[in-house]
C-alpha cells in the first residue's frame, strides 16, 4: 500500500481507488473473492469509512467490484464468453466453461401480440402470446434477463414446464419440440434502467447488451422471440464465421 498524499490535488478516495485497482489488476485480490470489510480497509488506509466507501463506489461504477449488502464486496470476474450460433444452449455452454448455470422464471402471463412480436412469430396482430420473464445466472450471479414470447395458443404450457424443469430446452422438449435453432440475432447496447438494475443486481446506467433473437423449429417455423438484456461486464458475445 502506497502512502496517501493529502493535499496533493488528488482526492483521498481517488488515491485509494487507484490503489485498490492496482491490487486487483495484479491479482492480490483474486477475481470472485471478497475484499476485506470496509471497516478493515478504512483502518488500513487510516481514513473514515465514508471516504473508503467513496473509493469502492468508484470501482463499482467501473464494474471492477460488486458490493452486496450484508455480504461483502466482491471482485468481479472476467466477462463470460457466450457464443452466438445456431445451436448454442445456455446451460451447455456454461457447464462447458466449468461454471454453474441457473434460470429462474420471474413472471408468466398471456398478452396480446405487439406488432414486433406478431411479425417475428408470424401470428395475427394481438393474437394471444405467452410472455415469460426469466433471469439467467452463472454461479449464482445474474448475467442476463429475457423477455420471451411464444405462440400462446400452441405452447401455453411452456411456462409451467419451465418452472418445473428450470431449463428452457427441457421445457420445449416437454412441449413436444425436440429440436430448435437460432435463426437470427440482433445486437445493440443501452444503459441499464431501473428494471435492468433490479433483475441483474447491477447499478443503473451500467452498459447492457440488448439482444433480440428468433428461435425456429426443425422446419424453420418461428417458435420463440426473445429480447435479452445482458450485463455487459459479465458477458460477452462470440460470433464465429468460418
Partner DNA sequence: CCCTATTTGTGCGTATGTATC
Partner DNA sequence: AGATACATACGCACAAATAGG
Contact footprint for its own copies (CB under 8 A): 79, 81, 84-86, 181-191, 205-209, 232, 236-242
Q: Is 180 helix (H, G, I), strand (E, B) or coil?
A: strand
114 is a contact residue toward DNA (CB under 7 A): no
Q: Which of 21, 51, 182, 207 binds DNA (CB under 7 A)?
A: 51
Q: Which of 49, 109, 122, 205 binds DNA (CB under 7 A)?
A: 49
Q: Which of 131, 129, 145 is nearest to 228 (CA)?
A: 145
Nearer to DNA by Cβ, of 7 and 220: the residue is 7
Question: Is 24 in contact with 16 (CB distance < 8 Å)?
Answer: no
Extract the C-alpha cell encoding 104. Answer: 429462474
Nearer to its own copies by Cβ, of 43 and 86: the residue is 86
Q: Which of 39, 164, 189, 238 binds DNA (CB under 7 A)?
A: 39
Number of residues written out for the chain: 242
Q: Which of 21, 23, 54, 128 binds DNA (CB under 7 A)?
A: 54
Q: Which does 174 bind (CB under 5 to 8 A by kind): DNA, its own copies, none?
A: none
17 is a contact residue toward DNA (CB under 7 A): no
Give the total of residues touching DNA (CB under 7 A). Answer: 26
Long-range contacts of 114-119 (CB under 8 A, 24+ apart): 116/225, 117/149, 117/225
Question: Is 181 in contact with 168 (CB distance < 8 Å)?
Answer: no
Half-sphere exposure of 114 (CA within 13 A, CB side): 6
Which stretches of the chain bind DNA, using CB under 7 A? 6-7, 11-14, 35, 37-39, 46-51, 53-54, 56, 67-73
Amino acid at each position: 500500500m502506497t502512502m496517501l498524499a493529502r493535499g496533493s490535488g488528488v482526492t483521498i478516495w481517488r488515491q485509494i481507488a487507484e490503489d485498490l485497482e492496482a491490487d486487483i489488476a495484479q491479482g492480490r485480490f483474486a477475481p470472485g473473492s471478497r475484499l476485506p470489510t470496509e471497516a478493515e480497509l478504512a483502518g488500513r488506509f487510516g481514513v473514515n469509512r465514508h471516504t473508503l466507501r467513496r473509493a469502492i463506489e468508484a470501482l463499482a461504477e467501473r464494474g471492477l467490484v460488486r458490493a452486496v449488502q450484508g455480504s461483502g464486496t466482491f471482485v468481479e470476474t472476467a466477462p463470460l464468453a457466450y457464443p452466438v450460433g445456431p445451436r448454442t444452449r445456455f446451460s451447455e455452454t456454461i457447464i462447458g466453461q466449468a461454471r454453474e448455470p441457473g434460470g429462474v422464471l420471474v413472471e408468466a402471463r398471456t398478452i396480446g401480440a405487439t406488432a414486433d412480436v406478431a411479425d417475428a412469430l408470424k401470428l395475427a396482430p394481438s393474437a394471444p402470446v405467452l410472455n415469460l420473464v426469466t433471469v439467467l445466472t452463472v454461479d449464482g450471479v445474474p448475467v442476463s434477463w429475457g423477455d420471451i414470447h411464444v405462440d400462446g395458443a400452441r405452447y401455453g404450457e411452456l411456462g409451467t414446464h419451465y418452472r418445473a424443469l428450470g431449463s428452457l430446452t427441457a421445457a420445449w422438449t416437454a412441449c413436444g419440440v425436440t429440436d430448435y435453432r437460432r435463426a437470427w440475432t440482433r445486437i445493440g447496447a443501452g444503459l441499464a434502467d431501473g428494471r435492468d438494475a433490479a433483475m441483474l443486481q447491477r447499478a443503473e446506467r451500467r452498459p447492457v447488451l440488448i439482444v433480440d433473437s428468433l428461435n425456429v423449429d426443425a422446419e424453420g417455423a418461428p417458435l420463440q422471440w426473445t429480447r435479452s438484456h445482458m450485463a455487459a461486464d459479465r458477458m460477452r458475445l462470440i460470433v464465429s464465421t468460418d
